[in-house]
Chains A and B, each alone.
Chain A
Amino acid sequence: MDISYIILVPFIPLAVFILLGLFNQKIKPAVSGYIGVLGLLVSSSLSFYAAYQYFFVSGKMDGVYQTFIEKAVWMKFTETLQIDMGILVDPISVMMLVVVSVVSLMVHIYSRGYMKGDDGYTRFFSFLSLFTFSMYGLVLATNLFQIYIFWELVGVSSFLLIGYYYTKPSAVAAAKKAFIVTRFADFGFLVGILIVGFTTGTFDFETLNAVSPEGGSLLLNWASTSFMGLSVITWALILIFMGGAGKSAMLPFHIWLPDAMEGPTPVSALIHAATMVVAGVFLVARLFPMFYFVEDGFALNIVAYVGAISSLFAAIIAITQNDIKRVLAFSTMSQLGYMMLALGVSGYEGHEGLGYMASMFHLFTHAMFKALLFLGAGSVIHAVHSNYLKDMGGLRKYMPITNITFLIASLAIAGVPPFAGFWSKDEILVAAFENNILIYCSSVFVAGLTAFYMFRIYFGIFWSKEKAYDHAPKESPLSMTFPLLFLALLSIVVGFIPFSEFVTSDKIGFEAHLNYPLAAIATTVGLIGIVLAWAFYKKENSLSDKYANAFGALYRWAYDKFYFDEIYLFITKNIIFKWISAPFAKFDRKYVDGTMVGIGNKTVWTSEKIKGLQSGRVQDYAFSFIAGAVVLALVFIYLWTN
């Protein structure tokens, strides 16, 4: 299969970014919107064609999906250790291409309506293109270093877009927070990469993930060096996962995600729901054989537990939040936790690899319905000019399309058959059930919570009591409703894709069956959540407040996000700043700077003292000169005569 044309997929958005970025002021907003959408349309078409060609034309060879790599040497350190730039095409990268294309294209179209009349319209589209370029580059990367480069690019574009309203202090703070927190996590990623490079002598995914014919990783040869009871490769994987946790907002690096909602809503949909935040999941999936085989998957267990805890934690917080975008942000975190835990409990071969496949499947479906939820929320915010649930209610009469599509998305995320989320979530629960019953129980509980909080905001926005609006809210224009409808359609149908035949850890594929008892349990739990939400929030009543009061302290904690932000602030301000940074700063100012300044001052002082020698009288100079000559003459005469 010829894959060289795939290289155009990332480069078209890059060209658009450069074009819009350089000629920011010269391009009319109307034109820049079209350029952005058009560029992405081409990229998307190429991605879809690549997916079609990969899965259906090229297909399997000897029953296995092939991996195609095209690369060029970029930096050569030693004979073996080198960094390449290139593209790697295998099932997950093709799947990610499709996800990024669909969501990004829809968000581009949507933004043309949502951002209309905004001052930075062209800037917005150029940043979106930059992000899309980085994300394509990330999913196509052939080695750890290349993925790291694009990883940081994605972080930068996320920073730029969160801080898009840069006159708003909260947006600036959120952008900085997101960048610093993810950057801190990426430090672990970098150290992990370096350890891998040092111990194995390669960065290539192909070599790192190589599986020996008897099963087991070829890496085991290298995994023997140990540090504190674990092999260094395991440490490296844990550190790499730290980077993944930062991007995917897992505990304890999740604090940036809710604040990232300061960005424009299409950005939240694209970056902080559908694509960028799944980069962490993608990274673990990319290195899955390594995670699985090195030391019997010790690192993978950590992934599973971090995922499960994050998912539960976020779901509980999501119930109490009043800002609809924040509810969706925590919901994203919770669903990402699902994907992580599914990867964590997965095996490698055949049906054992159900978790891996379920995780990728959930990534795929989640991208669709979460983007839809965000875009729907954006449509609502556009209409009522507020993020808060208290300013909304009874909107179903004014915004029928948004209402229907939001409902579909909520049903999908709540796991009601036959919507997309049901199928993928079911696979995850089956995988968890087969491997770790504790994680399974927590996941089922989270499924119920998910249904509850989603329908809490659904009923809160579209039913409940009608609020007094300044001017009657009206349905959004076609450029905004079209993506909603399209994504709603996808949210219904993508669940029926026989995903297990395309994307699996061993690339062979298997036939997945619906596990009826487990599916029934999950669906029932989801329905209970929906019914509870219906009882609490369909009509405005005091039931919810009563239960909130009944939970008392727990409710307060969850409402304040379990004080994670405060803990971080406390640690940074009172411990790191006060006890580490401040003394260092003092030392720097006093001794390091002091020495330098002191040398300067002494020089000035000395010059001041001796400048009298420079009298300006030629005779003085001549006197010194002659005196010197005489002294030298005497010295030489003395030396010669002895």
Chain B
Amino acid sequence: MNPRAYRRFKSHVMVGLMGVAVLVAVLPLLAILVSLTLKGASSLSLAFFTNTPVPAGETGGGVLHAIVGTLMIVGIASLIGVPIGIGAGIYCAEYPASRLAGITRFVSDVLNGTPSIVVGVFVWTVVVAQQKHFSAFAGSIALAILMIPMVTRTTEELIKLVPVSLREAALALGYPRWRTSLTIVLRTALPGIVTGALLSVARAAGETAPLLFTALGSQYLSFNPDQPMAALPLVVFTYASGPYEEWHQLAWATALVLILVVFLLSVAARLATRQRFSSNG
């Protein structure tokens, strides 16, 4: 084989190997989506989105209570967790050498690796046990605790990616430091920060363990965050571990709804933060 053909051969082999790696990485995701759709879609109907559950044995019924519950629990969690996480991330990026930033980074990394069920038990101890009843709000606190370290770390990393030259250009124009941070640096990093925050929201929306000890779940449509509330992952958990075949069907359908909700959330947030101008006006 001449050298040129040999080099080409090596190149093709390597590209082929990388293609295999991509396939292996994407395959589980596709498999999940396909099986969810195959098994869940047949149970989906308009009524599934607009009704609350019916007693076991009857057919019909839906997961409206859990859709509302997930939106409320995750919504409140995001209201708590995203601003705190972004604030902490800005602090760590602006004062990188400070002691507090070092501690924040360390605690965030530890918390990121903490199993979510531990957070659930913790919130059960400090909130649920004190109040003596389960509540959606306690669930939101548990999810917020999971979101904060993720948001903090991604915010810090993305702010650090904004070139120093941009910060200096703003300062040289007479921008005060707070304004430089907020209107130039944070704005520039914003699309990435939104993506990071969304990832944490999506992760929170899919968490089951921390909600078992806090929001508990419920069969009824409720808008009161001080009461137990249903959530999609809890419904999946209940139905999937139940004894009835119809329940298993509902679990598949609910899982599909959960994926849809997360997907719609990310599309909405992307639309809200997309750049306002095109490249040529």
- Do A and B pair up? The answer is no
Name A's B-contacting residues (CB within 8 A): none
